């Protein structure tokens, strides 16, 4: 939407195709985005949508894109319905899809009390009894980060620890426990976690948990264009948000680990400016 706003204001014809599944849809309150702190994601997105679509040349389509084909003049975008649209330039602002672990209760708590980022939600649960669901280097890195917000911290590795001896010792010096027992389920009330239930029947009370999840990109779209991704699975972009395929730009979560609204909006704005610049350079 930030890319579309810049392009609409540059008098460009823009079609936003969106199937309405943003990654933060379950979060009750969004934080750390200046002027919108504490608002719900839906409030922020609805306001953005109304502002962007108030520009005559910007249109919105609720639909799912399945594939994209390179053509002589640009790109053909195919929808699930079978319809297709053509465009000179393409902006991929498709986000990423988090893969939930197979732990009953986890998905219901995601974004409510099971959190991806302390900068977005850590303030609200600071000094609370908190779990880290992670192992190895990720578990260590996340535990040290979250220790900034709470000292009541335990790392749940959900199976044998793959933390190094040095990492385990370091966590111990900060009074961060490690629990290796497999997790059976998370007990919660409307997404607010109450306790972790383990495979041996034991329970641990927590009111917040952090996890860093694996994710997928819209593979068919990326494959149909042959877009390059980084070793971590993000779309490779340059400082102008250009992908490896000329005419295709990407912005937001699909390009970076720095997963915040402010960052996505910033990248979207840059994308809009750069797409317009490229069109001017081609036509002038």
Residue nearest ligand FAD, CB atom distance: 252
Shortest CB 255 distance to ligand FAD, Å: 8
| For ligand FAD, the closer CB: 121 or 171 | 121
Q: Are 115 and 208 in contact (CB under 8 A)?
A: yes
Side-chain-side CA neighbours of 224 within 13 Å: the count stands at 16
Looking at the chain, the number of H-run helices and the number of E-run strands are: 8, 17
Shortest CB 109 distance to ligand FAD, Å: 10
| For ligand FAD, the closer CB: 130 or 167 | 130
Q: Are 77 and 187 in contact (CB under 8 A)?
A: no
| For ligand FAD, the closer CB: 94 or 270 | 94
Shortest CB 65 distance to ligand FAD, Å: 4
Q: What's the token pair of residue 11?
A: 């008098």
Q: In the complex, which residues of this chain contact ligand FAD (CB under 6 A)?
A: 17-24, 27, 30-33, 64-65, 93-95, 110-111, 116, 120-121, 218, 252-253, 259-262, 264
Element (H or E) spanning 114, and its range? Answer: strand 114-115
Strands 177-179 and 153-156: parallel
Please spell the DSSP secondary structure of 12-28, one letter per residue: --EEEEE-S--TTTT-S
Phi first, then psi, for residue 135 (nearest 5°) are -140, 170
| For ligand FAD, the closer CB: 10 or 79 | 79
| For ligand FAD, the closer CB: 106 or 110 | 110
Shortest CB 126 distance to ligand FAD, Å: 15
Q: Are 80 and 220 in contact (CB under 8 A)?
A: no
Shortest CB 282 distance to ligand FAD, Å: 26
């Amino acid at each position: 939407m930030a890319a579309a706003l810049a392009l609409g204001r540059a008098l460009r014809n823009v079609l936003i195709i969106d199937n309405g599944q943003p990654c933060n849809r379950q979060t009750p309150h969004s934080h750390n985005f200046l002027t919108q702190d504490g608002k719900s994601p839906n409030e922020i997105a609805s306001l953005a949508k109304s502002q962007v679509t108030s520009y005559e040349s910007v249109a919105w389509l609720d639909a799912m894109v399945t594939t994209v084909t390179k053509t002589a003049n640009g790109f053909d975008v195919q929808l699930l319905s079978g319809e297709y649209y053509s465009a000179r330039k393409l902006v991929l602002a498709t986000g990423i899809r988090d893969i939930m672990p197979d732990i009953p209760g986890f998905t219901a708590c995601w974004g409510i009390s099971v959190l991806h980022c302390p900068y977005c939600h850590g303030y609200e649960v600071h000094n609370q009894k908190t779990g880290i669901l992670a192992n190895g280097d990720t578990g260590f890195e996340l535990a040290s980060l979250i220790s900034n917000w709470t000292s009541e911290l335990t790392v749940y590795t959900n199976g044998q620890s793959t933390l190094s001896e040095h990492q385990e010792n370091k966590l111990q010096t900060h009074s961060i426990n490690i629990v290796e027992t497999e997790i059976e389920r998370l007990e919660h009330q409307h997404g607010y976690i109450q306790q972790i239930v383990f495979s041996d029947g034991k329970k641990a009370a927590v009111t917040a948990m952090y996890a860093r999840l694996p994710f997928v990109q819209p593979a068919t779209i990326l494959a149909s264009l042959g877009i390059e991704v980084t070793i971590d699975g993000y779309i490779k972009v340059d400082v102008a948000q250009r992908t490896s395929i000329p005419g295709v730009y990407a912005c937001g979560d699909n390009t970076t680990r720095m997963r915040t609204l402010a960052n996505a909006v910033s990248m979207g704005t840059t994308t809009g400016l750069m797409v317009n610049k490229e069109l001017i350079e081609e036509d002038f």
